[in-house]
Structure 1
Amino acid sequence: MNAVMDILKQAQKGGIDANMDLLYKKEQHIPGSIQYTIRRYYAQHPWVADDSGMMVYHYNEKKPKDNYLELRFCITGNRYCAERSCGMCNELPTMNCSGRTQTLDVFTFHFTSSFLKQFVHNVKLANRKDEVLAFKHPNAFTKLFPLCVRNRNVLDALLNHSYSGSMENIYVNAKVHELLLYSMDCLVHEKEEGFACKFLADDSGKERIYQARDILLQHIGDPITIKELSRKVAMNECYLKKGFKEVFGTTIFDFYQQQRMEHAKYLLYEKSLSVTDVSALLGYSSISHFSAAFKKHTGLKPCELLK
């Protein structure tokens, strides 16, 4: 996970080009439009890491024209073939290529404040998502989040489509808007009526709850206790549990388990990892414990998702 975080942090300026072999690059840097860069690198060594996303909210009250929102994604374990005509073949290698190459794929999508404000024109700012899109949230931040299935599907579509020319522009812009929509879900829904817990009326209290959620997502494969979590966010355990339930509508344990099982489904079905590997990656002490938890939350046995 630390290596992926480093890549996401360097992604803005392509700082990893010097350290890895670049296989493919696609970019668009048109002022006033969606700006993006897609880079595919040769993965010299097999990666066993969670695919991740990062949201960077840059805010400077004194220089509003410089404000921007950036989405960065890192995906491991994909395959690349330079011969697009044989991209769906099952023969390795084929006559025209030397076989598919395992890649590390890095995406950066840059949205200026002027571009995003079109979505909040004449809209009541009812929650934190609206505030961010309107650049009314007063503090800059960087958030790391695991990729949901919807975001993964969109990123795969951007890598594997057959459009060109003006049709490609329409297609890519549509997909980037989807990424923006799904990525904003990493920000919480706040209730307009206010919170029952008085300490959540203070921005500091709410930020600690958001921070707790981010820490849980960063520890998908490294379980953390509520006591440890409360220490990390400097909040009383009782307040943390009540505040989390108030903001997210579920307990810390149920939220964490749901996220782990969703990630397990992805690793089993999309990445075709074994039950043993997934169990280890999610921090379970035994395969039987993982299998029982998986069936409880999904109604399926892990082996039923294996391709």
Structure 2
Amino acid sequence: MTEGPEMSSLLVNESGRLIPGSVQYGIRRYVKPQGWMAEDTGMLQYVIAPEEKGGNRLELHFCITGNMYCKEQVGGCRECKAHNTANCPKQFESVDLLTFTFTPSVLAQFVKSRAASNTLADDVLTFRHTQSFSQLVPLCNRMRSVLDGITSHNYTDTLENIFVNAQTQMLLLYSLDCMLGEKEIDVITCKFLANGADRDKILKARDVLIEHIGEPITIKELSRKVAMNECYLKKGFKEMFGTTIFDFYQNQRMEHAKYLLYEKGLSVTEVSMMLGYSSISHFSTAFKKHTGLKPCELLLR
């Protein structure tokens, strides 16, 4: 999972994000070395190191091979732009290395009540498990789908940040599920979710929420857009994504707010308006509830 010295000269693209209080991630893309035989793999690392600079953290590492890309990163070459990728002279097979780092403050939002937390997953998310460990994460189809989305999407700038935020949470959910051997999210307690068309409606609802990150949308409006009963929509969303529609939407808005404030350098007023808040005070209250900081305090870290 580590970068070998023989791969350093083959790096063709690198991206990532480093925002205090948010999930940190990095993606490195290499030309696949000739004779490379390693299989796709994932690893979860749980680190207890309060004395270190990085402190306690949960890391996800993935190595994905076999994706095809054009060496002209923006838009591709002439053949790629003409959707004639089979004749692309600059196409190469890649090795993608992805790293995601979750801090205690980020993970705390997923545990509603520490007093009621009594599972290994809760102990990991709250860093009450006292020993560091590493564990391989099997790449199931649903996890591969999320990773493919992260490595192959066409979003840029603001939309890229929103998209990666949402996908990263799904990676965390699936990785913990695989690590702990818990099968709850595979069990369909809502009978209507046995229907593929209804599951697609729930997925569409998540996409609609992301698309309306700056235009607050009610559950009634959301249910109309995906043509699903409100009650079914709420129950199905909670079962598929492990969170309520409101909590998911608020989390995405606040994570995007961090990005706009810290990386894009926008003012609190501008971010408040972009995310559809009626007043700066309402935005600041929501931001502090989510991050533990006032918006202006983030910029001082």
Equivalent residue for 1:140? 132
2:86 aligned partner, one-letter code: L
When residues 174 and 56 of structure 1 are mapped into structure 2, their CA distance, relative to the original with a 3 A threshold, is same
Equivalent residue for 1:49? 38
Deviation of 1:184 (Å): 0.6
Q: Is 1:37 aligned to 2:31, yes or no?
A: no
Equivalent residue for 1:77? 66
Q: Identity, % of aligned pairs?
A: 42
Q: Is 1:92 aligned to 2:83, yes or no?
A: no
Equivalent residue for 1:112? 103
Alignment of structure 1 residues 131-280 onto 2, 5 Å: 131-188=123-180
Deviation of 1:77 (Å): 1.6
- Post-superposition CA distance 1:51-80 (Å, at most 9, x none): 110111001467798100000000112212
- Native 8 Å contact 1:22 1:40 kept in 2: yes
> In 2, distance between residues paired with 1:88 and 1:131?
51
1:44 aligned partner, one-letter code: P
> In 2, distance between residues paired with 1:129 and 1:16?
36
Structure 1 alignment gaps of length 5 or more = 1-7, 192-307
> In 1, distance between residues paired with 2:60 and 2:124?
13
- Post-superposition CA distance 1:222-275 (Å, at most 9, x none): xxxxxxxxxxxxxxxxxxxxxxxxxxxxxxxxxxxxxxxxxxxxxxxxxxxxxx
- Native 8 Å contact 1:57 1:142 kept in 2: yes
Deviation of 1:82 (Å): 3.2
Q: Name the Cα RMSD after superposition.
A: 2.6
- Native 8 Å contact 1:32 1:114 kept in 2: yes
- Post-superposition CA distance 1:260-293 (Å, at most 9, x none): xxxxxxxxxxxxxxxxxxxxxxxxxxxxxxxxxx
- Native 8 Å contact 2:49 2:55 kept in 1: yes
Which residue of 66, 70, 75 corresponds with 2:55?
66
- Native 8 Å contact 1:80 1:103 kept in 2: yes
After the TM superposition, list the runs of 4 or more consecutive aligned residues in structure 1 that deviate by more than 6 angstroms: 61-65
Alignment coverage as a number of residue pairs:
177
Equivalent residue for 2:206? none
When residues 93 and 150 of structure 1 are mapped into structure 2, their CA distance, relative to the original with a 3 A threshold, is same
Structure 2 alignment gaps of length 5 or more = 184-301
When residues 40 and 138 of structure 1 are mapped into structure 2, their CA distance, relative to the original with a 3 A threshold, is same
- Post-superposition CA distance 1:5-38 (Å, at most 9, x none): xxx1x2xxx5657644101111111111110000
> In 1, distance between residues paired with 2:134 and 2:171?
17
When residues 149 and 46 of structure 1 are mapped into structure 2, their CA distance, relative to the original with a 3 A threshold, is farther
Greater shift in the superposed pair: 111-120 or 61-70 = 61-70
Higher RCO structure, 1 or 2 (CA under 8 Å, sep 6+): 2
Which residue of 75, 96, 101 corresponds with 2:92?
101
- Post-superposition CA distance 1:139-187 (Å, at most 9, x none): 1101112211111111111111121222111111001111111111123
Equivalent residue for 1:121? 112
Which residue of 8, 16, 27 corresponds with 1:27?
16
